[in-house]
Structure 1
Amino acid sequence: MSEFHVRAVSEGEQRACLDLLSEALHGKPASDEAWAKMAPTWPAAGKFAAFDDHDTPVGIASSFDTELTVPGGQKLVTAAVDGVAVRADWTRRGILTAMMAVQLEDFAARGVPLAALHASEGVIYGRFGYGAATFCKGVSVERPRARVRDGVGRDGVVRLVTPAEAVERVPALYDRFEGTRPGFLARPAQWWPGFFDRLVTGNDGYRVAVHSGPDGDDGYVVYQTIDVRDRQAPERGAILDIRELDAATPRAWAGLWRFLLSVDLVSAVTGRARPVDEPIAELLTDPRAVNTVEVMDDLWLRLVDVLAALRARTYGTAEPVVLEVLDKQLPDNNGRYVVGSGGVERTTAGADLRLDVATLSSLYLGHGLFADLALSGRVEVLDESAVDRADTLFHTARAPWCGTFF
């Protein structure tokens, strides 16, 4: 079998790479009409592919640059990895490893401090330095039992908008939410037509509702209803499934939930990717109407420039801790870092804790505990007292959450 080589994708090669990605995800190649809509959102920039001897793409690793909110509110340039695949007849030959190496080297050369992705499989990306950094929960609210507490969520008005109005209004509305949580991902201009616009203008029946408060529009929800009636239960209501819900204020958030739980002929309101600390049950007179059906990893993060990333976030109040970081792919990150509430520096002092870059990436946004990862062997403890200090330094008051799909 012929060898492969990895290089940047050139203009004119994007469609073949997208077809490769679709095939690997068990989809169909884009029609001419579909490609005409997709082309502006899928530029050659940010894409590397593996090519065979005939210059046919057999693997793709794609990304686009955006910004991620880190603890303390600063926004860091982040490479969002949004399409990685290898053609089925070329797997198990080192193509993925080669593409990920070239991609990481590109991020480092361009000075991009973070990379992020949503992992299709949980066992793939840890070996490239990525760690699960945000989690989300799936919820199901029994609508007949769910009664929102009196006076809550009545401070504004919720209105349904047309798909055209949603395409026009929601991007500016989304910008109001940035910085509210660590892990929140900005959506660059090219994201909207490729993801949101296709969703709300498509044929899957998605609806968009906007909340308006004293200062104007301040929240929105995208949802669809799914008919679950059958011959045995013809009276069963539909399921109202939330695709995304974002609000700039607690009042807008409560108002949107009140609206969703007031829709008639609905048996349950569900949402798959909600923040793990979203207090839906506290809204209701019967908190048992809310069921958490799953908790899953969401955004996987990779510290490309460890020093720049550590310096960008804020820390709790505790004595400093010295972390020794191991990075096989980007050895410039190898070394020791003293982390404290006053800042971060490289150091030659002895290490308190030793961990690889994937583990540090998991902990970076405030999810999880050094203590738990020490128990599982992912953090090597050289000074027992450092574990509590590290947890105090890295902890965040709100659970990190990504809030977007790509």
Structure 2
Amino acid sequence: MSEFHVRAVAEGEQRACLEVLEQALHAKPISDEDWAKMAPSWPAAGKFAAFDDHDTPVGISSSFDIELTVPGGRKLVTAAVDGVAVRADWTRRGILTTMMSAQLEDFAARGVPLAALHASEGVIYGRYGYGAATFDRGVFVERPRAQVRDGVGRDGVVRFVTPAEAVERVPALYNRFEGTRPGFAARPAQWWPGFFDRLVTGDGGYRVAIHSGPDGDDGFVVYQTIDTRDRTAPERGAILEIRELHAGTPEAWAGLWRFLLSVDLVSGVAGRGRPLDEPIAALLTDPRAVNTTEIIDELWVRLVDVLTALRARTYGTAEPVVLEVLDKQLPDNNGRYLVGPGGVERTTAEAELRLDVAELASLYFGQGFFRDLVVAGRIEVLDEGAVDRADALFHTARAAWCGTFF
């Protein structure tokens, strides 16, 4: 049996490593054209790979740095893990664990306090200290039943832009959004070529529309049209499927939804990955026109430096609580933390709640409740009164949402 070794990816090895990821995800082989679009978003930096004894990549773990907004509005450097895979003929040999360990140790050595990823499967990453920290929902809005309330979303204009214009204009527009919502991701220049540009200039038929209000451009939507007609129902309208919708103001958000729901020959507007608290139903005269099709985990988060991450966010009003955190991969995080409205400190006081770093990560952005994880047997309670205090401290009124795929 061949052995493997894990090391940093060298310049010139990126495409071969990406092919390992694409094969694991059952995607088509990468064409030269696709690689030309993808390459700027797939540098060697931030990548660890497993190689066989011929130095051929058989596994990949990739990341790049972004900033995520944490509760309270501060932006925290985060390692965005944008690809983890092992070639099918090399699985079950410890490659994934070895790569993930090397990656986590690199994050810690570089002083990156958070890591985040979008999980292809929900059972993999908890063992490496990641917890499902943000959630989103799929929606389907029925037309023509969905009528926007009079006077809402009429103060601006919406215009189509060409793919070339979208590539030029949308990044600057997105970067104007302050991102006060917990979980919101700032998109570095590296992100755009491989994710946005590749999408809107590809052959998927995506259209981009920009909303302009009194102060200029303030929102955009990216969507494609899905033709649902067939021989038995030639009159059936198309479905507009939203890929992205971001707005800097409530008026821009309402204006973009009004635009989508006014397009002719459409039977519905669908969107995956929308915020849990997006008030689409409140926008309409008939709230039953909005159907939730799924609620699913969005962003999985790992606290690489527990103390730095806890100190970066703000907390609600309650008496402090002492958390004891357990971290098998990064033992420097092990210990007790006094968390309160005034800040966070390490402490030698008796623990009131004991939990794994993955459970703490799942609660970090203010979603979910300590009491639910207690019921599920995932948090050990040493002081019954601490559960309600922890929920009051950590939970946020606004749903956390990232809204950026990587």
Give the TM-score, by structure 2 length.
0.99
* 8 Å Cα contact 1:62/1:84 also seen in 2: yes
Q: Is structure 2 residue 393 aligned with structure 1 residue 396?
A: no
Shift of 1:21: 1.1
Q: Deviations over 1:170-204 (max 9, x none)?
A: 10111122422000111110110100001011111
Shift of 1:33: 2.7
Q: Distance in 2 between matches of 1:34 and 1:160?
A: 25
* 8 Å Cα contact 2:157/2:213 also seen in 1: yes
Match of 2:387 in 1: 387
* 8 Å Cα contact 1:340/1:393 also seen in 2: yes
Shift of 1:288: 0.4
Q: Secondary structure at the match of 2:317?
A: coil
Q: Distance in 2 between matches of 1:149 and 1:143?
A: 14
Shift of 1:263: 0.3
Match of 2:228 in 1: 228
Unpaired stretches in structure 2, ≥5 consecutive residues: none
Q: Is structure 2 residue 167 aligned with structure 1 residue 175?
A: no
Q: Which amino acid aligns with 1:137?
A: R
Q: Is structure 2 residue 93 aligned with structure 1 residue 93?
A: yes
Q: Deviations over 1:30-63 (max 9, x none)?
A: 2223222322221100000001111111100000
Match of 1:157 in 2: 157
Using the aligned pairs only, state the percent identity. 85
Q: Distance in 1 between matches of 2:178 and 2:29?
A: 34
Q: Secondary structure at the match of 2:66?
A: strand
Structure 2 matches for 1:202-221, cutoff 5 A?
Answer: 202-221=202-221
Q: Secondary structure at the match of 1:328?
A: coil
Match of 2:270 in 1: 270
Match of 1:68 in 2: 68
Match of 1:32 in 2: 32
Q: Distance in 1 between matches of 2:286 and 2:191?
A: 39
* 8 Å Cα contact 1:178/1:185 also seen in 2: no
Q: Secondary structure at the match of 2:252?
A: helix
Q: Which amino acid aligns with 2:301?
A: L
Q: Distance in 1 between matches of 2:189 and 2:152?
A: 35
Match of 1:145 in 2: 145
Shift of 1:205: 0.6
Q: Secondary structure at the match of 1:298?
A: strand
Q: Secondary structure at the match of 2:185?
A: coil
Shift of 1:143: 1.2
Match of 1:291 in 2: 291
Q: Distance in 2 between matches of 1:28 and 1:147?
A: 41
Q: Which amino acid aligns with 1:170?
A: V
Q: Distance in 1 between matches of 2:147 and 2:37?
A: 43
* 8 Å Cα contact 2:38/2:198 also seen in 1: no
* 8 Å Cα contact 2:327/2:357 also seen in 1: yes
Q: Is structure 2 residue 365 aligned with structure 1 residue 365?
A: yes
Match of 1:114 in 2: 114
Q: Which amino acid aligns with 1:118?
A: H
Q: Which amino acid aligns with 1:99?
A: M
Q: CA RMSD in A?
A: 0.7
Q: Secondary structure at the match of 2:254?
A: helix
Q: Secondary structure at the match of 2:186?
A: coil
Q: Which amino acid aligns with 2:156?
A: G
Match of 2:186 in 1: 186
Match of 2:308 in 1: 308
Q: Which amino acid aligns with 2:327?
A: D
Q: Which amino acid aligns with 1:263?
A: V
Match of 1:131 in 2: 131
Q: Secondary structure at the match of 1:100?
A: helix
Shift of 1:28: 2.7
Q: Which amino acid aligns with 1:292?
A: T
Shift of 1:19: 1.2
Q: Secondary structure at the match of 1:21?
A: helix
Unpaired stretches in structure 1, ≥5 consecutive residues: none
Q: Distance in 2 between matches of 1:179 and 1:383?
A: 36
Q: Distance in 2 between matches of 1:379 and 1:39?
A: 43
Q: Deviations over 1:131-168 (max 9, x none)?
A: 00000000000011001000000111111111111111
Q: Deviations over 1:311-347 (max 9, x none)?
A: 0000001000000000000000000000000000000
Q: Secondary structure at the match of 1:76?
A: strand
Structure 2 matches for 1:73-88, cutoff 5 A?
Answer: 73-88=73-88
Q: Deviations over 1:211-263 (max 9, x none)?
A: 10111000000001100011111110000000010000000000000000000
Q: Distance in 2 between matches of 1:116 and 1:58?
A: 23
